[in-house]
């Protein structure tokens, strides 16, 4: 069924996609597989044997389609996050719906209870879904950009203060946020210029105005080769947080969202998987004002053949 039949619009605002809508549109595995076929092969399925687009029929005994001319089978789930999974396809779609319908995401334990699967299966499903949400697209360059670093995880004995024996290091993350636009957050090895500047070059267009704090790691922004950034700084160490249009409130808002998400839904995230959680949060953040399609459809349309 075409995506345009999954939701309606009223005065430019998208109607919420509810659990009743999900149940009606995806009642079983066959419906989910058919949606996947139409999405991955919008122009028809090209048979590798016939070497042309041919008519394919659903095979009743397996999740595949058979060529009408030669009988060659095509598996829509092959090469996607569903590849070789014994979990029913509808449970995968249900997991994507649950993940997308919550403002701050849900935990694997929640998914375990909702779907009736093991925790190991729930964790693997979440991990696979999050691999779809990585967005490497640079910013457009027509909005001011705020940049800041934050630290997550780790254990500091006695709370704050100098590092002590037995402490686990926090993981530094660089956040880049367009004002009233997109955001990207990337884990880095350390908060230093040689880690930060290549990411700024990658995501921020040369004509953008960049706002940061007074940290020395941003000293080289104006001198990045091939760029003409206008670099403005706010001095947080002197308790100055806003001066005209110079501030980093947007990226600070992203950090608040990330911390509340981790604290509320997950409680703790290891450094090994932190980037996947950041990808999910930024994916949802970047589509917070999307009135063209529900968040569930945005998640679902990230499925592609590049996943393993």
Domains of the chain, first to last: 3-135+295-300 (no CATH), 145-272 (3.30.420)
pLDDT reported for residue 9: 45
In angstroms and rounded to an integer, the radius of gyration of the C-alpha atoms of the chain is 23
pLDDT of 226 strictly over 70: no
User: Range with the lowest mean pLDDT among 131-135, 272-276, 288-292?
Assistant: 288-292
Q: Closest by alpha carbon to 279, among 212, 183, 211, 207? A: 183
Which helix (H) or strand (E) segment holds residue 146: the answer is strand 145-152
pLDDT (tens digit per residue) in 246-259: 999 999 999 999 99
Q: How confident is the model at residue 197 (pLDDT cuts 50, 70, 90)?
A: very high
Q: Closest by alpha carbon to 40, among 84, 75, 86, 5? A: 75
Q: How confident is the model at residue 74 (pLDDT cuts 50, 70, 90)?
A: very high
Mean pLDDT of all residues in 97-117: 91
pLDDT reported for residue 164: 54
Cα angle 102, 108, 113 (rounded to 5 degrees) comes to 90
The most confident of 9-13, 45-49, 203-207, 229-233, by mean pLDDT: 45-49
């Amino acid at each position: 069924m075409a995506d345009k039949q999954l939701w309606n619009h009223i005065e430019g605002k998208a109607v919420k996609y509810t659990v009743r809508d999900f149940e009606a549109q995806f009642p079983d595995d066959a419906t989910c597989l058919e949606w996947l076929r139409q999405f991955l092969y919008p122009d028809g399925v090209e048979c590798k044997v016939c070497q042309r687009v041919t008519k394919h029929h659903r095979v009743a005994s397996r999740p595949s389609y058979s060529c009408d001319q030669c009988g060659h089978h095509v598996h829509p789930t092959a090469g996607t996050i569903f590849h070789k999974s014994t979990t029913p396809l509808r449970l995968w779609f249900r997991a994507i719906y649950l993940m997308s319908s919550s403002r701050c995401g849900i935990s694997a334990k929640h998914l375990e209870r909702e779907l009736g699967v093991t925790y190991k299966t729930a964790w693997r499903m979440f991990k696979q879904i999050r691999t779809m949400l990585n967005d490497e697209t640079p910013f457009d360059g027509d909005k001011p950009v705020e940049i800041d670093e934050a630290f997550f995880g780790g254990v500091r004995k006695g709370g704050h203060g100098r590092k002590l024996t037995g402490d686990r290091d926090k993981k530094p993350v660089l956040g880049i946020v367009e004002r009233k636009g997109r955001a990207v957050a990337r884990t880095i090895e350390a908060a230093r210029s040689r880690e930060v500047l290549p990411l700024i070059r990658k995501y921020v267009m040369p004509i953008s105005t960049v706002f940061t704090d007074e940290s020395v790691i941003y000293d080289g922004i104006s001198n990045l080769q091939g760029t003409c950034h206008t670099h403005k700084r706010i001095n947080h160490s002197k308790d100055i947080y806003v001066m005209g249009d110079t501030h980093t409130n947007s990226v600070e808002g992203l950090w608040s969202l990330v911390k509340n998400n981790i604290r509320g839904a997950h409680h703790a995230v290891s450094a090994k998987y932190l980037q996947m959680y950041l990808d999910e949060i930024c994916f949802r953040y970047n589509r917070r004002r999307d009135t063209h399609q529900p968040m569930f459809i945005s998640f679902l349309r990230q499925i592609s053949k590049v996943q393993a």
